[in-house]
Amino acid sequence: MKLMKSTTSPYARLAHAMLIEAGADFELDILNPWADPDQLVAANPARRVPTLIMDDGTVMTEAMLIADHAAKIAPEGSHLKSISPVQYEIAGRAWGITEAAVHIIIGRKIVSDDLAATEYDSHPVAQRRYASMTNGLTQLEPMADHLSDTHMGMAEISVANAIEYVDFRFPEADWRPAIPALDAWRARNAHRPSLRDTVPS
Ligand SMILES: N[C@@H](CCC(=O)N[C@@H](CS)C(=O)NCC(=O)O)C(=O)O
């Protein structure tokens, strides 16, 4: 299998991390989807990452579907195969944060193509997304003790992904609430290959 991804995409990070956790055999093709590389255009009409090319030529797109596939191909008894309602709750909250952050970055790109320019940020929709991030992080913090220190599954990967994408795109943001329990959990688990090898850059 070959996974097309960019090093910045939180969607691609989910797919990549889940394939690592599944013990899947795959290669990486690191690319910039916005540059329309031939292999991505040929495989995915949406021209987005992640895009997974299976050994039989089947093309799988959309991060959550690839994550679901990773759980299916994981060995019997894998932690990826059993996810509890509270783990879904945590993962859903984390994705609310991640998607809000992506929304603001795409808004900036539409307005000026300069991701560091903040003109878009004062738009009411952007303000709503900022509130999603601050409230989402605040509400995730007391759930930190539900995160595993032994198995990185959908909840753990989604939480690390959300916080690290926020920190990557909005470094030293003064609106980022204090999340000491989540930050401590991340520090304890930063060495896990599925987290360590997928950090945004
Ligand atoms: N719903 C898609 C979103 C994927 C997505 O938006 N990927 C971005 C990178 S973060 C991308 O490839 N953007 C290029 C474009 O929109 O043309 C998923 O879950 O995989």
Q: Name residue, tokens 């709750």.
A: 89
Name the closest-CA residue to atom 10, ligand 1: 9
Please state the atom number of ligand 1 nearest to the C-alpha of residue 46.
17
Whether residue 54 is found in the same domain as residue 129: no
Whether residue 56 is found in the same domain as residue 129: no
Whether residue 97 is found in the same domain as residue 185: yes
**Would you state the pLDDT for residue 117?**
94
**Would you state the pLDDT for residue 113?**
84
Percentage of the chain lying above the pLDDT 70 cut? 100
Pocket test for ligand 1, best of 3, 31, 49 (most atoms within 8 A of CB): 49
Q: Could you tell me the pTM of the whole model?
A: 0.98
Q: Which residues of the chain have pLDDT under 70?
A: none
Instruction: Give burial (CB, 10 Å; 0-12/13-18/19+) of 8.
Output: middle
Task: Report yes or no: 118 and 126 within 8 Å, Cβ to Cβ.
Answer: no
- 198 domain-assigned: no
Centre a 10 Å sphere on the Cβ of residue 23 and count the other Cβ atoms it contains: 12
Whether residue 88 is found in the same domain as residue 185: yes
**Among 80, 102, 118, residue at a domain's last position:** 80
Q: Report the separation in Å between the CA atom of 31 and the middle of ligand 1, taken as the mean of its atom positions.
A: 12
What is the pairing mode between strands 51-53 and 59-61?
A: antiparallel
Whether residue 106 is found in the same domain as residue 170: yes
* Burial readout 102-111 (b: 16 or more C-beta within 10 A, e: otherwise): bbbbebbeee
Please state the atom number of ligand 1 nearest to the C-alpha of residue 62.
20
The residue type found at 21 is E
CA dist 174 and 121 (Å) reads 14
The residue type found at 141 is E
CATH number of the domain residue 29 falls in: 3.40.30.10
Task: Report yes or no: 84 and 98 within 8 Å, Cβ to Cβ.
Answer: no
Query: Which residues approach ligand 1 with their CB closer than 6 A?
Result: 9, 11, 33-34, 47-50, 62-63, 102
Please state the atom number of ligand 1 nearest to the C-alpha of residue 61.
20
By C-alpha distance, which of 6, 8, 24 is closest to 164?
A: 8
Whether residue 168 is found in the same domain as residue 106: yes
**Would you state the pLDDT for residue 59?**
98
**Would you state the pLDDT for residue 164?**
98
Please state the atom number of ligand 1 nearest to the C-alpha of residue 48.
12
Report the number of distinct structural domains present in the chain: 2
- Output the average pLDDT for the chain: 98
Half-sphere exposure at residue 160, Cβ-oriented, CA atoms within 13 angstroms = 30
Reading the block at residue 61, the tokens are 């797109």
